Structure 1
Amino acid sequence: MRELVAKENQFLQERDPHPLIIQGRQFISRLFVGTGKFASNQAMLSAVEASATEMVTVALRRVDLSKAVNEEDMISILDLNRLQLLPNTSGARDAGEAVRLAQLSREMGGGSWVKLEVTPDPVYLLPDPVETLQATQELVKDGFTVLPYMHADPVLALRLQDAGAATVMPLGSPIGSNQGIKTEESIRIIIEQARVPVVVDAGLGAPSHAARAMEMGADAVLVNTALAVSADPAMAGLAFARATTAGRMHFLFGGGASSRGSGQWKQASASSPLTGFLDEENRS
């Protein structure tokens, strides 16, 4: 299945005027895959292979990157010649913990790429915007390629880009909820203003959710729970891969790219003429 999906991705890539490039690396697949919650490593591998993904995330608290030697070890069964490994700081409650986890990962051979997650609330796993921005600033200064998980907050997205984030990863809905995209209008603004790739992360529970994110103009999506809890992770991986490609095709060739300026997308309009008032004050 992987070869078939990879060919489809390559076909689209050759016709896509805006390739997905993160920190100098080009990705043909626009579907990133998380490795948590699977019933077994083999189930995880089947989803990774069927999806033809080129980026996999792994929680630093769940693996020892320095001991990937036995057959069942999560890292050792992944083809790291083809895949970009993206360790994440899942479980970090503040910027300090996240930075320490990222540095530990690099010391153990995990590389300098990191998916930054700072979630002080263990129930809803919502990202802390203040600590996420602080950790991004520190990690970028330390030479990391930082992909921060964040609320769908357009202002925060700009601040993270200013801090040097390689992507921004706004949540569609809470992690593992499979609710789909509940933050659509905010994500639209983030996409409109973005200077780096936008990866919609969290809450994508059906292939149609991934397709919708791509139709909106997202550069990629990240999926984990929907694959892990599927009765057949390989088939789920295939479904999400094709939905991601279909959504991108619609954005490029089916009218999605022009919809940002249509009547369905309107900028905010102030209810009070404050700017004019301030201009008059400045002139007086």
Structure 2
Amino acid sequence: MQDALIIDGHSLSSRLFLGTAGYPSPQTLVEAIEASQCSVLTLGLKRTLLAGDNGFVAQALQAAQARGVRLLPNTAGCRTAREAVQVAQMARELYGTHWIKLEVVGDEHTLQPDPFELLAAATELGRAGFTVFPYCTDDLVLCRRLLDEAGCAVLMPWGAPIGSGQGLIHLQALRTLRERLPQALLIVDAGLGAPSHAAQALELGFDAVLLNSAVAQAREPVAMAAAFRDAVRGGRQGFLAGLMAPQSFAVASTPVSGHAFLLGSA
């Protein structure tokens, strides 16, 4: 079944977006990219400039080019709208893409996005011709304003705090987003720790997932990348096939009422 994800006019064969931070070596990163068969790769410009490359970015760019993977620079580490806009502009010049994953963190403990600075930055970047992928909470009002006022093409609500591995901790809020924003492209970003978490997000009808730590910090990152690849495919296929509705009571899978059957032999 052909089921490409279309963003900004670009057809993406995979619904798995992969981050590039925290891998034990550049070669492991390259192998994880290949195993994941991801269509989009995120790169943190600010952290790269501050901490140094050490070969990771160069290897990631080569792997992305070889596989036809799109780059999604991010503004990780930014704390204000002004700072995020400046980093986004630098990323566009450096990587030659108008796609930007917008991160504006407002709390140092939870790394929760600052909704006010995020909306301001998204609005300004949208006017400057960027396709903005805002990392946001699961707040419906904020998400609506990012779509309607800032003109974001995609929303990236968190599943749980960044790097926590807790999975989808606010299921009802995520279900509400999907139900109330049926036409929006929604990508679960942050907090996924297991392939089952990714499958669950796709089963709920979310369009894709973005993850980093769950692969980069695994005992075997390449094998974990392949596991997430398969989980995303399975979750999407399950959603399209139509999951059975959960019920609070038992329903026999093989009805026997009205039919004669033997209880035992004489």
| Alignment pair present for 1:223 and 2:208 | no
Residue type of the partner of 1:146? V
Q: How far apart in 2 are the matches of 1:230 and 1:77?
A: 23
TM-score normalised according to structure 2 size:
0.85
Structure 1 residues 254 and 71 mapped into 2: Cα distance closer, same or farther (>3 Å)? closer
Superposition pairs for residues 61-210 of structure 1, below 5 Å?
61-63=46-48, 73-80=58-65, 82-162=68-148, 163-194=150-181, 195-210=183-198
Q: Which residue of 2 aligns with 1:233?
A: 221
TM-score by length of 1: 0.80
Q: Which moved more, 1:171-180 or 1:191-200?
A: 191-200
Q: In the TM superposition, what is the alpha-carbon distance from 1:242 to its structure 2 partner?
A: 0.4
In structure 2, the partner of 1:213 is 201
CA drift of 1:155 comes to 1.2
Q: CA deviation at 1:232?
A: 1.1
Following superposition, the deviation at residue 246 of structure 1 comes to 0.5
Q: Deviations over 1:77-132 (max 9, x none)?
A: 32326011000000000111100000011122341110000013233211111111
**CA 1:71–1:51 in 2, change beyond 3 Å: closer, same or farther?**
closer
Tell me what 1:9 maps to.
none
Q: Which runs of 4+ in 1 moved over 4 A?
A: none
Name the counterpart of 2:259: none
**C-alpha separation between the residues in 1 aligned to 2:33 and 2:47?**
18
> Quick one: distance in 2 between partners of 1:71 and 1:33?
14
> 1:47–1:247: structure 2 CA closer, same or farther, 3 Å change rule?
same
The unaligned stretches of length 5 or more in structure 1 are 1-11, 265-284
Identity %: 45
Gaps of 5+ in 2: 249-266
Paired residue type of 2:125: L
- Quote how far apart the aligned CAs of 1:41 are: 1.5
The answer for the alignment partner of 2:231 in structure 1 is 243
Q: Which residue number corresponds to residue 255 of structure 2?
A: none
Task: Determine if contact 1:63/1:74 at 8 Å carries over to the other structure.
Answer: no
- Secondary structure of residue in 2 paired with 1:36: coil
C-alpha separation in 1, matches of 2:189 and 2:19: 10
Name the SS of the counterpart of 1:198 in structure 2. strand
SS in 2 for 1:165: coil
State the partner residue of 1:4: none
Q: Take 1:177 and 1:226, find their aligned partners in 2: how far apart are those partners?
A: 9
Kept after mapping to 2: 8 A contact 1:87/1:110 = no
Change (3 A) 1:185 1:49: same
Separation in 2, partners of 1:72, 1:93: 23
Q: 1:198 to 1:71 in 2, by over 3 A?
A: closer
CA offsets per residue over residues 217-261 of structure 1, 9 Å max, x none?
0000011000001111111011001001101111110326xx5xx
After superposition, the CA RMSD in angstroms is 2.2
Instruction: Report how many residues are paired.
Output: 243
Which residue pairs with 1:274 in the alignment?
none
Following the alignment from structure 2 to structure 1, what is the Cα–Cα distance between the partners of residues 166 and 140? 21
Quick check: which has more Rg, 1 or 2?
A: 2
Contact 1:71–1:77, Cα closer than 8 Å, also in 2: no
2:84 & 2:57 partners in 1: Cα distance? 27
